[in-house]
């Protein structure tokens, strides 16, 4: 039996109990398998919150569905189980705030600006912008998720800047100030590259398919650094 089947069997069929059942199932069903537990927790967070984001926005485009499929590690024969979990989250009477609060407790080793929860936000941004534009309702949704995840405003703006289609402020992308000297900016850049290396993501339980977002993130960091370097050389 796959972990998706185990998870869905543990949750049961009652949509009204989906929230508490999902979180409790992750805690108990995979208690003896922390690696699988991390992967399931991450995947469930993306599924549940993207379902709530779709409900908040009122529109689910085909491109958003494709983006959703890009970042998951499940065999084709488990598609129905994943769809069932998505529908449970969408139909649940609990609001997205409750989902975010409960799911954030699964990251027991995290403090403020948790990297695992940042990965979740990146996945949600990836889905939100798939249709070419992050709508105001989606941005408000994501901002509130960031607050619930105990993400600082500065860190949230840094994440959001990576996903602006026209190219975000390079200083915001790197989380530095225009008043910082270049050696400081270079150290910050190298630190971010190390922090967000694909091997680091895998070690914290992010599914391998998340390399789509990891590569996107690295491209944004590299572009921001190159833009600042070019600007400083021209000055």
For residue 74, report the phi and psi dihedrals to the nearest 5 degrees: -150, 140
Question: Looking at residue 110, what is its pLDDT?
Answer: 58
Average model confidence (pLDDT) across the chain: 77
Q: Which domain holds residue 103?
A: 3-234
Domains: count for the chain: 1
* Average pLDDT of the residues in 131-145: 87
* Average pLDDT of the residues in 181-196: 92
Question: Looking at residue 219, what is its pLDDT?
Answer: 87
Higher-confidence residue: 73 or 184? 184
* Average pLDDT of the residues in 2-22: 62
CA distances from 145 to 18, 48, 89, 97, 170 (A): 19, 12, 16, 7, 23
* Average pLDDT of the residues in 75-92: 74
Higher-confidence residue: 145 or 52? 145
Q: Which of 129, 105, 113 is nearest to 53 (CA)?
A: 129
From 79-83, 127-131, 141-145, 191-195, the region with the lowest mean pLDDT: 79-83
């Amino acid at each position: 039996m796959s972990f998706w089947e185990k998870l869905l069997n543990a949750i049961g069929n009652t949509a009204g109990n989906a929230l508490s059942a999902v979180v409790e199932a992750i805690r108990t069903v995979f208690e003896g398998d922390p690696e699988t537990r991390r992967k399931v927790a991450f995947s469930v967070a993306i599924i549940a919150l993207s379902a709530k984001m779709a409900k908040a926005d009122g529109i689910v485009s085909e491109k958003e569905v494709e983006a959703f499929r890009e970042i998951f590690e499940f065999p084709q024969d488990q598609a129905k189980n994943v769809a069932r979990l998505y529908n449970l989250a969408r139909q649940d009477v609990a609001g997205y705030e409750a989902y975010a609060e409960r799911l954030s407790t699964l990251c027991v080793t995290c403090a403020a600006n948790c990297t695992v929860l940042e990965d979740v936000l990146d996945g949600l941004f990836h889905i939100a912008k798939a249709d070419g534009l992050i709508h105001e309702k989606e941005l408000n949704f994501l901002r509130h998720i960031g607050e619930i995840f105990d993400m600082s405003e500065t860190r949230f703006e840094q994440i959001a800047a990576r996903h602006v289609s026209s190219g975000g402020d390079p200083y915001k992308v790197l989380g530095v100030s225009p008043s910082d000297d270049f050696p400081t900016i270079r150290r910050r850049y190298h630190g971010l590259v190390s922090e967000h290396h694909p091997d680091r993501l895998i070690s914290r339980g992010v599914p391998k398919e998340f390399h789509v977002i990891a590569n996107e993130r690295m491209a944004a960091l590299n572009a921001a650094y190159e833009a600042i370097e070019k600007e400083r050389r021209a000055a």
